[in-house]
Amino acid sequence: MIRTVESEQHVSAPVLAAYSYCETVTGQQARNFAYGIRLLPTPKRRAMSAVYAFSRRVDDIGDGALAPDVKAARLEDTRALLSRVRDGRVDEDDTDPVAVALAHAAEQFPIPLGGLDELIDGVLMDVRGETYETWDDLKVYCRCVAGAIGRVSLGVFGTEPGARGAERASEYADTLGLALQLTNILRDVREDAEGGRTYLPADDLAKFGCSAGFDRPIPPEGSDFAGLVHFEVRRARALFAEGYRLLPMLDRRSGACVAAMAGIYRRLLDRIEREPEAVLRGRVSLPGREKAYVAVRGLSGLDARHVSRRTVRRRV
């Protein structure tokens, strides 16, 4: 069982200012994520905003226009900052608000900070321009950049006392991260291609005649692009089904947060499945009212109860 701190404790003015900065970053740059964490109690919401702000910094280095060697050096500087956080060497008056907020969050919750090291490893894979021959190869990358964040988040959420199967909570959090990342990869296939990146496994691309890539708003000539998308959608749905088993292990508001974030991505997946070629024309997204509906559904506990009933049926 993973325990977390629920009660609001006194937080100093410098730490509150650091958290406020992180929450601003989250609200401006992570709308899907922000919809989920607003359902959390204040201490958890602040901690998750600190995790996001650090992760955003790492991602921005990888996505920026700097030369690869400069990116790699910046990422190692960020890893050194993470080591200072881990070792308790960040003071409240430190000039880096993200470090201050993350250090405080790590004091309040059992956050496995090694997951953020894995994130840096994953972004370094991007910097090196790695491609992936098989799904097993791609899973290594997805676990670094998304599965690890699921495990880090679980350190903030915790599991309910006596939750059945809680010893597998970290595994389910990791799998849910893979589902989210694969959905991201499908949504961003054109944008990534324009940036010179290909994430989908080479053997999948070859199977569906898509090895030429996605640098145009139409599928490669002679390809079965819809078949490729539907194949990857089925893979993502299987990951969601497994990862959703985490929900009954969480308290109501943490479960609502996870259900909201995952629910938004599942609906994105539905849209991509209905119109595969839309991802070649631009980024597929959900309107705000639909995201709000997903958040309310998560807060109601409908998804968690559905997973609980399905799990019980499997055992009978």
| Residues 41-71: tens digit of each pLDDT | 999 999 999 999 999 999 999 999 999 999 9
Residue 265: which residues within 8 A CB-CB, separation 6 or more?
Answer: 32, 179, 180, 183, 184
Q: Are 164 and 99 in contact (CB under 8 A)?
A: no
**pLDDT confidence band for 34 (50 / 70 / 90):** confident
Tokens of 45: 């919401």
Residue 309 has pLDDT above 60, yes or no: no
Q: What is the pLDDT of residues 276-285, one digit of tens each?
A: 999 999 888 8
Distances (CA, A) of 103 to 169, 182, 271: 24, 30, 39
The chain-wide mean pLDDT, for the chain, equals 90
**Joined tokens for residue 211:** 């090895």
Distance CA 249, CA 172 (A): 10
Q: Which two tokens stand for residue 255?
A: 């479960």
Cα separation, 237 vs 52, in Å, equals 25
d(CA 64, CA 272): 27
CA angle 308, 314, 316 (to 5 degrees): 105
Q: Give the pair of three-digit tokens for residue 281.
A: 């024309």
Domains, in order of start, for the chain: 11-108 (1.10.600.10), 130-315 (1.10.600.10)
In whole angstroms, how large is the CA radius of gyration of the chain?
20
Whole-model pTM? 0.89
Cβ atoms 149, 179 nearer than 8 A:
no
Q: What are phi and psi of 35, to 5 degrees?
A: -60, -35
The pLDDT tens digits of the residues spanning 93-140 come to: 999 999 999 999 999 999 999 999 999 999 999 999 999 999 999 999
Question: Residue 190: is its pLDDT beyond 80?
Answer: yes
* Rounded distance between C-alpha atoms, residue 302 and residue 286, angstroms: 20
Instruction: Check residue 195 and report its DSSP letter.
Output: T
pLDDT at 124: 98
Q: How many CA atoms lie within 13 A of 286 on its CB side?
A: 24
Count the residues in the chain. Answer: 316
pLDDT for 302 equals 55
